[in-house]
A and B are shown apart, each in its own frame.
Chain A
């Protein structure tokens, strides 16, 4: 079994409905994502998942020097950012890609699939 990181990519700007268009569509996406999460649990793929606050809430910390340096904002100023992620455990890439496609449909976003190089 391999662990895969599934990251959801979307616009850095968020409107009041989280870029879903309307309140109804936002609620539908939440419900579909909830159902997908339940499926990941039931089928034994689930490791961890979560949605993230807006990228503007991020702080970059550089602790390599004597005193840590804090910078407000995300590491890269980009139009597209990671909005949330799943960590799953799957037997091979084909399974991971299928789950990513389902997750992408549920949360209405593009999903990047990347394997872990071992876990701590």
Chain B
């Protein structure tokens, strides 16, 4: 009994994105899709413990939810024929179309349409992130609120507002045309990247690493890669996430962040690294470099080195040079300078870092502290560690920075 309930929850979570996406296409309305999916879950919880889990649980949920949605629309039609007329004219609507939810081809997959709708540039970035996790990830509002450390009511409002805007302004439910695809795909990748980053180095003072967010970002990026296997930036983002995730266990010890150079490399996940390296090789073969591919390649260099001192820093710097040409932002310049410190020494790197307008950014202070420390400039090192500690709320990072500061004589 308990096993079946868990199986239902697992199947529901796995199938949620696909279920919502196909219902939203069929009925032209995200709210109808969510309610019907909820009713199908209740039905499964009643039925499956008695009859057992059906051989195709996803199909069962889709058919049941579809029937519930039709029942509801019929009831509302009788009550309010005017509403129905408006509903039928919506661009998302094609209630007559009962195409089965088995996908006919990668680009036709409803989840891709839904992903582009959730990540539409007319929606606020935090709304895009929340909606993607809710509708495609199948996370509950409470789970998303907890992950981003905001009250549940705030998160619920964020999601409601985004959904209202989609309905009122008629955000289309389709994959953008080829001409618009690169730009719109960029928006989708940004959302997945932000979800991953928030999990990997949480901004708030809760858990320093949130594996549920990194895991969900990877799961959604895998779906995207399945749907757009030809896009090297999708492969690049997945590679970047896997090569980063591979180091997650080794990255925090006793509540303290462990920097890359001091990590126990035996604790890295070799399977994830192998898969990440395959993706980077695939990207190199396609030869259409982009931001995420280069970041993945940098992480491939790091994960390729048996020990920190074996790292090919000249390659890392060369990759950052390439990234700078695509994205000349101060953050990229800071990361490049950290690699330069290994290659050309802390003095050269410090000159580069001091030029950057990043005084509010904890990583800028932390990088300066490290370089000043190596130059033996202790007083300035302490000040920099203090500034770095003040600029971050992440508990593991604070613990690490405090230890480094404490080690100074």
Contacts and interface: CB of A to CB of B under 8 A. Distances in A.
Q: Contact size class for B?
A: 10 to 19
Contact of B168 (A91, A96, A97, A117): A117
Contacts of A93: 120, 122, 169-172
A109 interface: no
A91 B173 CA distance: 12
A2 interface: yes
A115 B91 CA distance: 14
A2 B122 CA distance: 17
A68 to B, nearest CB: 33
Secondary structure at the A interface, as helix, strand, loop or mixed, is mixed
A94 B172 contact: yes
Secondary structure at the B interface, as helix, strand, loop or mixed, is loop
Interface residues of A, number: 12
Contact of A115 (B169, B172, B176, B180): B169
Interface string A79-99: 000000000000111101100
Contacts of B170: 2, 91-93, 115
Nearest to A94: B172
Contacts of A96: 169
Interface string B153-177: 0000000000000001111100010
A87 B85 CA distance: 23
Interface in A20-55: none
Contacts of B176: 94
B74 to A, nearest CB: 25
B171 A92 contact: yes
Contact of B172 (A92, A113, A114): A92
A49 B323 CA distance: 45
A81 to B, nearest CB: 23
A92 B180 CA distance: 15
B253 to A, nearest CB: 49
A96 B122 CA distance: 11
A93 B120 CA distance: 10
Contacts of B120: 93
Residue among B91, B169, B172, B176 with the most chain A CB within 10 A? B169
B120 to A, nearest CB: 8
B80 to A, nearest CB: 15
Contacts of A2: 169-170
Contacts of A97: 122
23 contacts: A2-B169, A4-B169, A91-B91, A91-B170, A91-B172, A92-B91, A92-B170, A92-B171, A93-B120, A93-B122, A93-B169, A93-B170, A93-B171, A93-B172, A94-B171, A94-B172, A94-B176, A94-B180, A113-B169, A115-B168, A115-B169, A115-B170, A117-B168
> Top 5 A-B pairs ranked by shortest CB distance?
A92-B172, A93-B169, A92-B170, A115-B169, A93-B171
Given A93-B172, A94-B180, A115-B170, 12 more contacts: A2-B170, A91-B91, A91-B170, A91-B172, A92-B170, A92-B171, A92-B172, A93-B122, A93-B169, A93-B170, A93-B171, A97-B122
